Amino acid sequence: MSAHPAPSIVELGLFSGAPQHENFSRLKDLAPTGAMNASTSPVAFPEGETVALPATYEYEGATKSSEDFFADTDTATLLVLKDGVVRHERLGTAKARWLTAARGSDEVAAMRRVKAALDQSGVLNPGVVLNT
C-alpha cells in the first residue's frame, strides 16, 4: 500500500452503478483493511416464504439473463432479504467453501451423510459441494 491517502468509496466508484468487480477484488490494495473475527453470539435471520429470482432483467435497453450475470460476475453467494426476513438464498456449486457458513456445520454434516447413503459409489456429482 502506498503512502497516498485511501480513496473514498465515491472516488472508487463503488455502489455507483459502474462496474465494480475490479475494485472489489483488490480493495485490500486500495484501502486499509483488516480481519474481522466471527461473532461469539451470531443472530440468524428468520426465514420466510422463498421467492424465485427473475430469469431475466433489463439493463441499458437489453434483456439479460440472470444466470449469465451470476456466472459472469462469479457471484459467490446471494442473499435476498425483505423486511429482515430471508426470502432467497443461493450458493453456486463452485462456492462450496461458503456452504458451512451459510447452513452450519451440523446441517452440512447431515447433508453429507444423506449423500453418502444415497450415493455409496460416489458417482453423483463427484467433487461438487458435498464430497463424501
Residues 71-107 have pLDDT tens digits of 887 777 789 999 999 999 887 666 666 777 777 888 8
Residue 122 lies in a domain: no
Residue 46 lies in a domain: no
Residue 21 lies in a domain: yes
Residue 76 lies in a domain: no
Q: Phi/psi zone of residue 61: left (φ > 0), alpha (ψ -120 to 50 degrees), beta?
A: left
Our CA angle for 112, 114, 119, nearest 5°, is: 90
**Count of structural domains within the chain:** 1
Residue 22 lies in a domain: yes
Expressed as residue numbers, the domain containing 27 is 8-33
In this prediction, residues 37-49 reach a mean pLDDT of: 90
The whole-model pTM stands at: 0.48
Residue 24 lies in a domain: yes
Residue 15 lies in a domain: yes
Q: What is the pLDDT of residue 73?
A: 76
Residue 13 lies in a domain: yes
